[in-house]
Structure 1
Amino acid sequence: MSSAVARVRAAHDRIEQVDRPEVWISLRPRAEAEAEAAEVDAKVAAGARLPLAGTVVAVKGNIDVAGLATTAGCPGYAYPPEADAPAVARLRAAGAVVLGSTNLDQFATGLVGTRSPYGAVRNAVDPDRISGGSSSGSAVAVALGIADLALGTDTAGSGRVPAAFNGIVGIKPTIGLVPTEGVVPACASLDCVTVFARTLPEAERALGLIADPVHSATPARRPGPWRIAVPDADALGPLDPGWAQAFDAAARRLADAGAELLPVDLAPFTEAAAMLYDGAFVAERYAAVGAFVDAHAGSPGLDPTVAGIISRARDIPAHRLFTDQRHLAALRARALASLGDADALLLPTTPGHPTLAEVAADPLGANARLGRFTNSTNLFDLAAVAVPAGPVDGLPFGVMLIGAAHTDDRLARIAGLLTTPQLPLAVVGAHLTGRPLNHQLLALGARLESSTTTASEYRLYALETVPPKPGLVRATEGGAAIEAEVWRLPAEGLGTLLAGLPRPMTLGTVELADGTLVTGFLCEPEAVRGAREITSYGGWRAYLDSVGEEPSRDPA
């Protein structure tokens, strides 16, 4: 871990190197950021545990940062916040240093990243294309390597579209999981504070630090492979060239990792998506900032597209809202019924990636197309994770996994199948299919790859453990081939197993019958002294069958 001061200096060097002034609305003075970083370094040196020490953060311009004006992308709206928003304060308390306030689609109204008097934020990979909004500056700051983490918001997809377009991770948590105090509202009942990072583990760690304690457990699921709902190509509608193939490839990666792919009716999702701006729900944007927009009509600081959207919402009759709420409730019931017992819905994050010129030519139409898959998520009170799944023709392509409220951890684990290498693990005992510890593998997203045996240089012993387990050791003589299963699981899952592995069990290299070397469960040699050798049975199952012994359940 680099020192906090060194990281702040590197960030400012990177800011000068990339020359993207439109990313920022305001930067903290370099000396001020370095002084705060020096305090972080001093705390670490004194023994403080600061999990984000040495990390720098960018914050969307509609989220309060003490000492910086909160503009929401509109100079005339600016106000000096009295304190950090809770999400910002929690990152700082963990040792992160805030670099500054980032550009956005004004009043968080848009998915394009161009609706700002501070300039259109260009894509991190192709400057002729949009960065995606409304959390445009935050996403690009991370993608360009300036910031390690960034905060955004998401009402219609603003924490996911910019992630997809810039090749990074965006987590849109369950509504209410992260406090929205100190955030200029777009639609207050739907708004979420979101996290951007270059990797999924970094984003998860940051979300864990800014979220309120979770009082309700993740909804229960039956053991088995992940179940992923995947719409067919016709339901997705027109996609950019190569995107349908990239989406199919992402679905296949999930299937190859052991997920069960299920059909889904996408119609209620896309129908609800159209209601976010075309229906009465947009009136909540007028409730947030409509009076300001009306009072400053024609001001050069107001983006005309944003002002038009918000002002038109003033005249929506109240009865229309109640009608739309009933319609939305019916669509939500259909959508959830279509998902059934699926753990997640896999979708492209957007149907395409327009250029700056294309958005300028049709600002409303281009924006509406971008929200086809994202707009319904918060209306349906769902959680989502957006991850890279490309590139396609040199540009980032992204997908998202959407699931029920409070399945944030589950969605991240499934998304890890797309972003994390899958490693083989050989098991010979209590983790075999149907045995009492097999559920540990299933919970980590593991899938059974093959049934085989070890090479003929191993000996097996019955250990006195709870639940009963065998001990596998490599032998110089007297060995035999032992029944084994090879499972595939994410690398982080293997780390989880290792961290919780009780002695005398260990993980080491196991040679299989075909000569392949894989990680597998072994036993410390000292533990088998005096234990009953059961090598002659050829495996743990055969031994248990011979003695008529049913393994006890794992007490955990």
Structure 2
Amino acid sequence: MTTIRDKLETILARLAGRAADERVFLRVYDDGARIAADAADARRRAGLSLGPLDGAIVSIKDLFDVAGETTLAGSIALRDAPPADRDATVVRRLRQAGAVIIGRTNMVEFAFSGIGLNPHYGTPGNAADPSRIPGGSSSGAGVSVAEGTSEIAIGTDTGGSVRIPAALNGVVGFKPTAHRVPLEGAVPLSPSLDSVGPLARSVQDCAFADAIMAGEEPRVVKPFPLAGLRIGVPRGRLFAQTEPMVDEAFEASLTLLSRAGARIVDHDIEDLLDAMADTTVTASIASIEAAEVHADWLETKAAELDPRVRWWIARSGTVPAPIYIRMLRRRRALIAAMDERLSPVDVLVLPATAISAPLIAPLEADDKLYNKLYNKMDWLILRNTMFGNQFDLTGISLPIPGTERPVGLMLVARHGHDRRLLEIAASVETMLVQEP
């Protein structure tokens, strides 16, 4: 039987071989991972287990605290910040479950973009095609799982930052209901919208990781029958400008779901999306809250920040408090309205991103071109995922097999229906994998 230590050494050798140009990981815990792997192997030999993640090789996004280290959040501006005095709650729970923490993965600076670029540490190439973007902000997380340098990656999702890199790299990415998983010890982007979620090769591994991070007993997912499943398709703005390849893969998946006995209907949420757009017309909640989080160094360390990130955050720092408070109050009402609107269906289904991963080079080569393309690309990449955060829903992206480039099928469910969503996703995953 292959030991966990053997598996780990294969990965560490791979990372060492590309160390001069490493962009997926910002730090690798060679020694600590070896100790954890040896301990897991010893338990296995003794017939003991700490649970389903005992010996699993797990990477963590660069915004989670690790005791004794300065948490950089993909930036160089925080290099002189004091080291963390304890592990983030999710890191501690993963260690207690026997996970082998292999390293910190790269990310967009301060987690502020769905594209995945990082000028400080380099942009990790997409696992399916290194010339293309990895998706963000959990860029290294998506690549690490897809390329096999971690079995599970832990990211954060404020507007799609787990589901986007999962979709663009061809793995599973799960966004739980906000605050289901503790945020303690994670550098925030937007405390109102942030959630911590896993990326993995399977729904089951995501479910195990989610349960452990949420402080629950992990259990095997019981697939939810597809026959009679009530699926809503929110056609409208979330389907505009969809890339033909993405659209074809999505419609083919709908056909498979229909053949499996699911009841598929168009489910209109346009008025609620309109209302949320009106509520946040001044600025996004994420950018307003990010401006407060980073206020102490946004100006004093301006030269050290990615100008593309700084501009979007800085412009929202002038939003008056009454507008922000009113925005949060209206959002609460819209969350309740969306929950009621989704009650007739089990899930919404739509493409995770409107487009597949675009090329990196045009975005990195010319700031003017980047700015010209940014609004369109970042919007088409974030658009379908971000409403889930705005309305505090739970969502998951599943890879659709057989496409030229990775495409994600996203399932979205009501606030707090996380377990039910994972059960449905497990059945849909099986259907997609089994289809020739």
TM-score scaled to structure 2, two decimals?
0.87
Q: Is the 8 A contact 1:74 1:116 kept in 2?
A: no
TM-aligned CA distance change 1:368 to 1:358, over 3 Å: farther
Q: 2:283 aligns with which of 279, 289, 296?
A: 279
SS at 2:63's partner residue? Answer: coil
State yes or no: 1:14 paired with 2:17. Answer: no
TM-aligned CA distance change 1:252 to 1:267, over 3 Å: same
Offset of residue 6 of structure 1: 1.5
SS at 1:372's partner residue? Answer: helix
State yes or no: 1:368 paired with 2:379. Answer: yes
TM-aligned CA distance change 1:292 to 1:343, over 3 Å: same
- Deviations 1:144-163 (Å, cap 9, x if unpaired)? 01100110000110010000
CA distance in 2, matches of 1:358, 1:346: 32
CA distance in 2, matches of 1:374, 1:129: 20
CA distance in 2, matches of 1:375, 1:273: 11
Which range is displaced more, 240-249 or 317-326?
317-326
The residue number in structure 1 matching 2:124 is 121
Q: Is the 8 A contact 1:159 1:195 kept in 2?
A: yes
- Deviations 1:22-54 (Å, cap 9, x if unpaired)? 1111112x2342123222322333443222233
CA distance in 1, matches of 2:343, 2:155: 31
Offset of residue 280 of structure 1: 4.9
Offset of residue 341 of structure 1: 1.4
Which range is displaced more, 160-169 or 198-207?
198-207
CA distance in 1, matches of 2:69, 2:2: 26
CA distance in 2, matches of 1:275, 1:236: 22
Residue 289 of structure 1 aligns with an amino acid whose one-letter code is H
CA distance in 2, matches of 1:212, 1:405: 18
TM-aligned CA distance change 1:317 to 1:167, over 3 Å: same
Offset of residue 67 of structure 1: 4.6
The residue number in structure 1 matching 2:293 is 288
The residue number in structure 1 matching 2:111 is 108
Residue 291 of structure 1 aligns with an amino acid whose one-letter code is D
Q: CA RMSD in A?
A: 2.6
CA distance in 1, matches of 2:129, 2:54: 32
SS at 1:254's partner residue? Answer: helix
The residue number in structure 2 matching 1:404 is 414
Residue 182 of structure 1 aligns with an amino acid whose one-letter code is G
Q: Is the 8 A contact 2:388 2:394 kept in 1?
A: yes
State yes or no: 1:318 paired with 2:328. Answer: no
The residue number in structure 1 matching 2:3 is 3
The residue number in structure 2 matching 1:238 is 241
CA distance in 2, matches of 1:136, 1:268: 32
CA distance in 1, matches of 2:396, 2:376: 25
SS at 1:25's partner residue? Answer: strand
Offset of residue 88 of structure 1: 1.2
The residue number in structure 2 matching 1:420 is 430
CA distance in 2, matches of 1:14, 1:284: 39
Counting only pairs closer than 5 Å after superposition, residues 354-503 of structure 1 correspond to structure 2 as: 354-360=358-364, 361=370, 362-392=373-403, 394-421=404-431
TM-aligned CA distance change 1:68 to 1:391, over 3 Å: farther
TM-aligned CA distance change 1:252 to 1:417, over 3 Å: farther
Offset of residue 137 of structure 1: 0.5
The residue number in structure 1 matching 2:59 is 58
Q: How many residues align?
A: 413
Q: Is the 8 A contact 1:269 1:373 kept in 2?
A: no
Comparing both structures, which one devotes a greater share of its residues to strand?
1
CA distance in 1, matches of 2:165, 2:280: 19
Q: Is the 8 A contact 2:283 2:316 kept in 1?
A: no
Q: Is the 8 A contact 2:67 2:84 kept in 1?
A: yes
CA distance in 2, matches of 1:18, 1:248: 39
Residue 296 of structure 1 aligns with an amino acid whose one-letter code is K
Q: Is the 8 A contact 2:155 2:196 kept in 1?
A: yes
The residue number in structure 1 matching 2:42 is 42
TM-aligned CA distance change 1:125 to 1:268, over 3 Å: farther
Q: Is the 8 A contact 1:125 1:395 kept in 2?
A: yes
Residue 370 of structure 1 aligns with an amino acid whose one-letter code is I
Identity of aligned residues (%): 34
CA distance in 2, matches of 1:86, 1:107: 19
The residue number in structure 2 matching 1:158 is 161
SS at 1:315's partner residue? Answer: coil
Residue 297 of structure 2 aligns with an amino acid whose one-letter code is F
Offset of residue 123 of structure 1: 0.7
TM-aligned CA distance change 1:268 to 1:58, over 3 Å: farther
Offset of residue 330 of structure 1: 5.5
Which range is displaced more, 71-80 or 323-332?
323-332
CA distance in 1, matches of 2:250, 2:212: 32
Offset of residue 384 of structure 1: 0.8
The residue number in structure 2 matching 1:82 is 85
Q: Is the 8 A contact 2:272 2:334 kept in 1?
A: yes
State yes or no: 1:196 paired with 2:205. Answer: no
TM-score scaled to structure 1, two decimals?
0.69
Residue 6 of structure 1 aligns with an amino acid whose one-letter code is D
TM-aligned CA distance change 1:180 to 1:166, over 3 Å: same
The residue number in structure 2 matching 1:530 is none
SS at 1:287's partner residue? Answer: helix
- Deviations 1:178-228 (Å, cap 9, x if unpaired)? 1110100000121111101011111111112111349xxxxxx9x982211
TM-aligned CA distance change 1:258 to 1:224, over 3 Å: closer
Comparing both structures, which one devotes a greater share of its residues to helix?
2
The residue number in structure 1 matching 2:28 is 27
TM-aligned CA distance change 1:146 to 1:413, over 3 Å: same
Q: Is the 8 A contact 1:247 1:348 kept in 2?
A: yes
The residue number in structure 1 matching 2:367 is none
Q: Is the 8 A contact 2:339 2:415 kept in 1?
A: no
Q: Is the 8 A contact 2:93 2:215 kept in 1?
A: no
Offset of residue 288 of structure 1: 1.2
Which range is displaced more, 176-185 or 238-247?
238-247
